[in-house]
């Protein structure tokens, strides 16, 4: 069980880093999202971001949904790390 929770926590951390890279790359208008590796990054992160875009539509050209997506992912990741630490056997 501890291995599963630790693996999920690591996945959430890596996915959070990918989300952050995706959001930072949107600041560069010359990025072609149809070329690799940007296309792969978009395919990996957009389904998760689209969940939040349906809740918070872009307001005046500013898209605040990635902030909510990253915050929620950080909360889940922190919970998984806490859970993994709680599942470790006690050492005497």
9-36 residue pLDDT tens: 899 999 999 999 999 998 888 989 899 9
The rounded distance, in Å, linking the Cα atoms of 51 and 48 is 5
Residues 6+ apart with CB under 8 A from 69: 19, 48, 49, 51, 52
The rounded distance, in Å, linking the Cα atoms of 25 and 3 is 33
**Segment 40-85, tens digit of pLDDT:** 999 999 999 999 988 887 777 788 888 999 999 999 988 888 888 8
Q: Is the pTM of this model over 0.85?
A: no
């Amino acid at each position: 069980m501890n291995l599963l929770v630790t693996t999920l926590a690591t996945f959430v951390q890596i996915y959070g880093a990918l989300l952050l890279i995706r959001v930072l790359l949107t600041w560069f208008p010359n990025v072609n999202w149809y070329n690799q590796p940007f296309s792969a990054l978009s395919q990996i992160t957009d389904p998760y971001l689209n969940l939040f875009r349906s809740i918070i539509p872009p307001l005046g050209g500013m898209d605040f949904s990635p902030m909510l997506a990253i915050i929620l992912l950080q909360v889940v990741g922190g919970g998984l790390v806490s859970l993994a630490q709680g599942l470790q056997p006690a050492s005497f």
